[in-house]
Amino acid sequence: MNNEACEKLYEAYYMRVFSYVMTMAGNRHEAEEITQETFFRAFGKLNSFRGESDEVTWLCAIAKNLFADEKRRQGRAGAMPEDAASHEKGVEQAAVERDSSFRVHLALHALEEPYREVFELRVFGELSFAQIGTIFAKTENWARVTFHRARLKLKERMGEE
């Protein structure tokens, strides 16, 4: 694989892959690391890419697997993420934000798949419905309907609390 092709692939899809990983990780540093590793692995396997899906779909699949591997590894190591924002804000404000954030994430976590992932890709990853449909090998309309249903389910769960 030549360097020019790798560079074009990186430039074309870096932000899309990074945004996708960021929706899963919620941590910029971790998302950057996984995104870099995604491209490193993809460059090594580009000759074996069969073209059965879009390149971005293939890259996001690699990223998703790397993220899952990293979470399993962290789970075994007992790693806990630090809350850097709490150092910059008052203790009371940080506690309120953590509680609010926790409730949102709890409601998101309770959403069944694919609703949760579609919602996260759209809101946090800022992907279009067409891109989300591509990731799931579905239509743009499917992504729109799934996102709408996810929003309704999330509102319902937040209202119950």
| C-alpha span between 16 and 58 (Å, rounded) | 12
Q: What CATH number labels 1-78?
A: 1.10.1740.10
| CATH architecture entry for 91-161 | Orthogonal Bundle (1.10)
Nearest to 60 by CA among 17, 103, 98: 17
pLDDT in tens, the chain (161 residues): 567 777 888 888 888 888 888 888 888 889 889 999 998 888 888 777 777 777 888 888 899 999 988 888 888 765 444 444 444 445 666 565 566 667 666 777 788 888 888 888 888 777 889 999 999 999 999 999 999 998 888 878 777 65
Q: What is the pLDDT of residue 143?
A: 92
CATH 1.10.1740.10 domain residues, the chain: 1-78
What's the Cα-to-Cα distance from 71 to each of 41, 49, 74, 100, 113, rounded to whole Å? 18, 26, 5, 24, 18
* Structural Rg of the chain based on CA atoms: 18
CATH 1.10.10.10 domain residues, the chain: 91-161
| C-alpha span between 31 and 107 (Å, rounded) | 22
Cβ contacts of 24-32, under 8 Å, gap ≥ 24: 24/64, 24/67, 24/120, 25/67, 26/124, 27/81, 30/70
Phi-psi region of 123 (alpha: psi -120 to 50; beta: other; left: phi over 0): alpha
pTM metric for this prediction = 0.48
Q: What is the pLDDT of residue 88?
A: 46
